[in-house]
Structure formats: structure tokens, C-alpha cells
Amino acid sequence: MFDYAAKFPTGLTYQEFLLKHGTDEQRKRWNDWYPQVKLTDAQRALLSSFKRKMHVLVFAGAWCGDCVQQCPIFEHFAEASSMLEFRYFDRDANPDLAAELKICGGGRVPVVVFLSEDYQQLGLLGDRTLSKYRQLAQQQLGDACPTGLGPANQELLTSVIQEWLNEFERCQLILRLSPRLRQLHGD
């Protein structure tokens, strides 16, 4: 079993990750994408209502177009909820995580691991949401990776934001309904 309690504290914040692992051009792509992410008031309210601490490990690559388009969503979530603590890990600098977090037998990014306050795994999602896979299937892109250079498809981005939020909410509800944690917190 992977020791997330030992690994998580060694991760980087969003900005630290970009400074350490991104080139100027890669940081520009991430920074250009960030303002395209728009949370609704209802989404912000949901995130701010979270009651349980959740550690969120993000396995990513600054060079990756999917990371360019999804990791800024997570930064918006972090800004909306004090209960979410994110740590980013570069794919190439963390072979232990690369071995642990394969999707369909291969290395993919981003992969998000949802962890409880005491680092018990709640869930794992990667590397794209269902809406994104539907779009790729419709376009028949094969295994080409988007660069994150073009403008956002706002309808797709809205769906991707909501799908990620649904997973964050699902994991938060796991935490809230956990008999172990309810006993620990007296609720």
C-alpha cells in the first residue's frame, strides 16, 4: 500500500510546482488558462460548505495540455474552500507515483488522488473527465494530446468544471458520512 502520509507533505503548491517544473512558455499557458475558469456562485458556495479537511494530490506535468486545462480548475477550488489542501507532483520527478498511478496500464496526467485528513485514499480520477473524453471521441483525435494553446470551448470547460466538482463533493460526502470520522469529530 502506498504511503500517502509520507509523500503528500513533499509536494508543491500550485505556484511552486509551476516555478520549479514549468518553462516560461508553460507557465504562460497555465496563467492564460486560469482566468477562463469561472465558478458559479453555487459552486463557490458548495466548496465553501465543506466541513472535512481533504488532502488532494495532483500528479501532473507542466508541459501537458490536459494539465493546462484542468489544474487551474483545482486552484479555483482551493481558493473557494479552506478545507482543500492541494499538493502537486511532477510526473517525471516522481517515479514512485508514476508506478502507482497508472491509468489503463499507462502513465497519464493529470491524476488526482483524494485523501482524508489522515491520508486514507477516498478516490482517484484521471486523466480527463467524461465530457472531455466524449469530445475527444467525437473528434476522433486518437492519442494526440491537446497543447492548451487555443481558446477555451466554454461549454466543454463548464462541463469539465462541474464534473471535477462532482468528484470533490462525492469525496467530501464520503468524509462527512464516515463512521470513523464522525466518531472522531463528534458529529
Sign of the CA dihedral with 58 first, then 136, 63, and 71 last? negative
Q: Is the pLDDT of residue 22 over 90?
A: yes
**How much is the average pLDDT of 43-68?**
98
- Beta strand 84-90 with 54-60 is parallel
Q: Is the pLDDT of residue 107 over 70?
A: yes
pLDDT at 138: 76
Q: Which of 173, 56, 63, 175 is nearest to 126 (CA)?
A: 56
pLDDT at 141: 44
CATH number for the domain running over 4-185: 3.40.30.10
CA distances from 174 to 29, 167, 169, 178 (A): 34, 11, 9, 6
Question: Which residues lie below 8 Å from residue 153, measured CB to CB, with a gap of 6+?
Answer: 135
Query: What is the residue-averaged pLDDT of the chain?
Result: 93
Query: How far is it, in rounded angstroms, from Cα 179 to Cα 186?
Result: 10
Q: Is the pLDDT of residue 150 over 90?
A: no
Please report, for the chain, the start and end positions of each structural domain, with discontinuous segments joined by +: 4-185
> Comparing 142 with 56, which gets the higher pLDDT?
56
Query: Which range, of 29-38, 118-127, 139-148, averages the lowest pLDDT?
Result: 139-148
Q: Which of 165, 154, 99, 98 is nearest to 129 (CA)?
A: 165
C-alpha of 114 from chain center:
9
pLDDT at 65: 95
| Cell numbers describing residue 26 | 508553460
> Comparing 168 with 143, which gets the higher pLDDT?
168
Q: What is the DSSP letter of 103?
A: B
